[in-house]
Amino acid sequence: MSLGGAQEKLASSPASATPGRYLEGAPSTHILKPEPEQWPGLASAEAWALVAASEGDAGAEAVVSDSLGSRPVLIVTRYDRPVRGGAITRLHQ
Residues 6+ apart with CB under 8 A from 50: 60, 61, 63, 76
pTM above threshold 0.85: no
Reply yes or no on whether the pLDDT at 84 is more than 80.
yes
pLDDT at 36: 87
Are 31 and 9 in contact, with CB atoms under 8 Å apart? yes
pLDDT 10s digits, 20-32: 555 567 788 888 8
